[in-house]
């Protein structure tokens, strides 16, 4: 026997009851049905029917809830045949809602603990579907079993009890997207955290979507400048690329990512910073730094703090990716930073263990590789017929004691198009950014560099790697020949030049000038004054050859004419620089 519960705000007439009963006899055929009629004043009008599998909701309370959530247009559509409400509007509303009941599948909570709920029913539920609990909480379906569904809560579930009704929404989590998000700080559900006005986004987008296919992609060929000389010259990043930033704790990974965002202030690139399990104080400092650099106006912050539950930390990068995909689909260029995927993997491991999924290496579930690959594959350079937009990903991974062979680091290295490896020893010795050129690589390479930078930096990587190799052996003492001494001297100067303070990104023309000087024009400059020499020559060139400077900025090409001007300027500047040095010594 199937029990059918009919709730209404007023007692139904015989004709109304017969209409409902006929509809269900038609639906279930010869099955024996038992109808139970209840009055519920909270419905305000209309009916709510439960048949053990689905809820048919045609109540005024539900309509008013949707009115609040969806706006006046929705409620006007429901009441389109009512120009004004008469005195007996509750009775008449039942007839006006006839045939307009929304049908949703439902189940009931049988267990709730540690942010995971078990639901019986929901036979049509899909993986990652958004579930709504009657008490205003939400969950995401994760385990689809034969007799129940296990879901992770993405909102407060402290008031959930045994027997609470859970409704399937038929869709996955959606977040607001669009220009209204620029300059804002939101949580992984798209709700503002910055205390500013309410978001008014006309469009929403599911946090999960398929990555662009091969035909939908185009070659990565346009540079995305980070403003960091060591990276733009030796480990170039192209628009649409996925470049991993990897290193131990406190080696400057976040600083590099934030500097890359700051460098996009005037480039037209929209930036998204996703904080995963970070301390609220750390996120606040990053926001303040971006505001001080005037970089928040084209940036969206998706913040999931360490105090948030594992579910919110887990969906945070997918939320940021969905926001970025909307801009990419409009033909815009996007830079997205995931800080960091180590904490994301830990959050997913926590969820999987609570769901009692089988664990594998280091207690991570077997599909931990898949969750990162399906996220990072969504970054791409789209083909011209799709608008030509791009999304460049900079995922961060934290290593332990410099070991890049651990499970999560090796996974993400195999997914990305290269990695920037930051070394603790270099960082603590004052070399910042602490890029280890031997372990850092960009698989896109020079195809995404400005021509002048590609040409001038062609030997820089090998020269620096050779220097660091010789520097290790030189620590043991012993005699060195003249050529080895020159290599070590040149390497020390290059290392000093590549040191760069936080929040001071270099323009394209300045990087070209610095690389030009590194190629054979600093041999006579003492290490103690090398930074002074480089900055002084750049200012000299800016003041004397502004037309050539504009060519370098726009095209990034070092023409023969500009090279001749630079050669002459070096000679003139050397006379001034070394004369000044001599005068200082005489004084």
Mean predicted confidence (pLDDT) in 565-586: 78
Q: How far is C-alpha 93 from the chain's CA centre? A: 46
Tokens found for residue 527? 């290490």
| Residue 457 contacts residue 446 (beta carbons within 8 Å) | no
Mean predicted confidence (pLDDT) in 223-248: 95
In the chain, where are the structural domains located? 1-100, 104-174, 222-429, 460-586
Calpha distance 358→352 (Å, rounded): 8
Question: What's the CATH architecture for 1-100?
Answer: 2-Layer Sandwich (3.30)
Adjacency order of strands within the sheet including 244-248: 185-186, 299-305, 270-278, 333-339, 390-399, 244-248, 418-422, 441-442
One-letter-per-residue 3-state SS of 307-321: CCCHHHHHHHHHHHH
| Helix/strand/coil for 480 | coil
From 36, 279, 443, 553, active-site residue: 443
Give the torsion through C-alpha atoms of 224, 228, 233, 234, to 10 deg. -100
The per-residue pLDDT of the chain, averaged, comes to 87
Most confident of 194-203, 453-462, 554-563: 453-462
Which pLDDT value is given to residue 584? 56
Tokens found for residue 58? 């045609």
Tokens found for residue 522? 């600093």
Closest C-alpha among 460, 447, 572, 573 to residue 516: 460
pLDDT band at 433 (very low <50, low <70, confident <90, very high): very high
| Residue 540 contacts residue 517 (beta carbons within 8 Å) | no
Residue 153 has pLDDT above 90, yes or no: yes
Closest C-alpha among 516, 508, 561 to residue 534: 516
Calpha distance 341→276 (Å, rounded): 8
Which pLDDT value is given to residue 477? 65
Q: Which CATH class is domain 460-586?
A: mainly alpha
Q: How far from each other are the two terminal CA atoms of the chain, in whole angstroms?
A: 107
Which pLDDT value is given to residue 582? 56
Give per-residue pLDDT as tens, 8-31: 888 888 888 888 888 888 888 878
461 is catalytic: no
Tell me the pTM.
0.85
Tokens found for residue 268? 């037209």
Choose the weakest-confidence range: 264-278, 331-345, 512-526, 549-563: 549-563
| Residue 9 contacts residue 46 (beta carbons within 8 Å) | yes
Does domain 222-429 fall under CATH 3.30.160.60? My reply is no
Residue 70 has pLDDT above 80, yes or no: no
Q: How many CB atoms lie within 10 A of CB 537?
A: 24
Which residue bears the tokens 């769901």?
Answer: 355
Give per-residue pLDDT as tens, 352-400: 999 999 999 999 998 999 999 999 999 999 999 999 999 999 999 999 9
Q: What does residue 100 show for φ and ψ, rounded to 5 degrees? A: -110, 15
Q: Tell me the fold of 104-174.
A: Elongation Factor Tu (Ef-tu); domain 3 (2.40.30)
Calpha distance 242→394 (Å, rounded): 6
Which pLDDT value is given to residue 506? 93
Mean predicted confidence (pLDDT) in 256-268: 94
Residues 6+ apart with CB under 8 A from 468: 437, 438, 491
Closest C-alpha among 103, 113, 163 to residue 133: 163
Calpha distance 224→241 (Å, rounded): 9
């Amino acid at each position: 026997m199937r029990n059918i519960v009919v709730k209404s705000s007023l007692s139904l007439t015989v004709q109304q009851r017969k209409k409902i009963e006929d509809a269900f006899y038609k639906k279930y055929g010869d099955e024996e049905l038992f109808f139970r009629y209840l009055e519920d004043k909270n419905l305000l009008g209309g009916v709510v029917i439960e048949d053990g599998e689905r809820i048919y909701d045609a109540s005024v309370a539900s309509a008013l809830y949707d009115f609040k959530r969806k706006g006046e247009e929705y409620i006007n559509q429901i009441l389109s045949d009512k120009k004004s409400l008469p005195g007996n509007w509750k009775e008449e509303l039942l007839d006006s809602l006839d045939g307009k009941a929304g049908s949703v599948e439902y189940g009931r909570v049988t267990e709730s603990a540690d942010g995971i709920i078990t639901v019986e029913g929901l036979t049509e539920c899909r993986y990652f579907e958004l579930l709504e609990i009657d008490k205003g909480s939400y969950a995401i379906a994760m385990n689809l079993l034969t007799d129940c569904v296990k879901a992770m809560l993405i909102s407060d579930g402290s008031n959930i009890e045994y027997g609470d009704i859970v409704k399937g929404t038929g869709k996955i989590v959606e977040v607001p997207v669009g220009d209204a998000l620029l300059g804002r700080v939101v949580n992984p559900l798209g709700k503002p955290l910055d205390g500013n006005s309410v978001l008014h986004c006309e469009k929403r987008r599911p946090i999960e979507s398929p990555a662009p296919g091969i035909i939908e992609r185009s070659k990565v060929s346009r540079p995305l400048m980070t403003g960091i000389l060591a990276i733009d010259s030796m480990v170039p990043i192209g628009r649409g690329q996925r470049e991993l930033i990897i290193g131990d704790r406190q080696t400057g990974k976040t600083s590099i990512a934030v500097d890359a965002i700051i460098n996009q202030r005037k480039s037209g690139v929209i930036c998204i910073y996703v904080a995963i399990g970070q301390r609220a104080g750390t996120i606040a400092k990053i926001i303040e730094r971006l505001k001080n650099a005037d970089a928040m106006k084209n940036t969206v912050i998706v913040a999931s703090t360490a105090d948030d539950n594992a579910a919110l930390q887990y969906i945070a990068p997918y939320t940021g990716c969905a926001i970025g995909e909307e801009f990419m689909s409009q033909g815009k260029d996007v830079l997205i930073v995931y800080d960091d995927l180590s904490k994301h993997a830990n959050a997913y491991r926590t969820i999987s263990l609570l769901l009692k999924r089988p664990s594998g290496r280091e207690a991570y579930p077997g599909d931990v590789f898949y969750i990162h690959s399906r996220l990072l594959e969504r970054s791409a350079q789209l083909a011209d017929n799709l608008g030509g937009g791009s999304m460049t990903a900079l995922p961060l991974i934290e290593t332990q004691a410099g070991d890049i062979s651990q499970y999560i680091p090796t996974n993400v290295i195999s997914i990305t198009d290269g990695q920037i490896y930051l070394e603790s020893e270099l960082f603590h010795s004052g070399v910042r950014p602490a890029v280890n050129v031997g372990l850092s690589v960009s698989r896109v390479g020079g195809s995404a560099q400005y021509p002048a930078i590609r040409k001038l930096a062609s030997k820089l990587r090998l020269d620096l790697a050779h220097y660091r190799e010789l520097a290790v052996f030189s620590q043991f003492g012993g005699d060195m020949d003249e050529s080895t001494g020159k290599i070590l001297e040149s390497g020390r100067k290059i290392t000093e030049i590549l040191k760069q303070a936080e929040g001071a990104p270099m323009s394209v023309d300045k990087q070209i000038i610095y690389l030009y000087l590194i190629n054979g024009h600093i041999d006579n400059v003492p290490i103690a004054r090398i930074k002074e020499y480089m900055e002084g020559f750049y200012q000299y060139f800016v003041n004397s050859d502004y037309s050539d400077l504009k060519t370098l900025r726009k095209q990034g090409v070092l023409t023969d004419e500009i090279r001749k001007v630079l050669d002459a300027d070096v000679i003139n500047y050397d006379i001034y620089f070394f004369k000044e040095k001599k005068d200082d010594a005489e004084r």
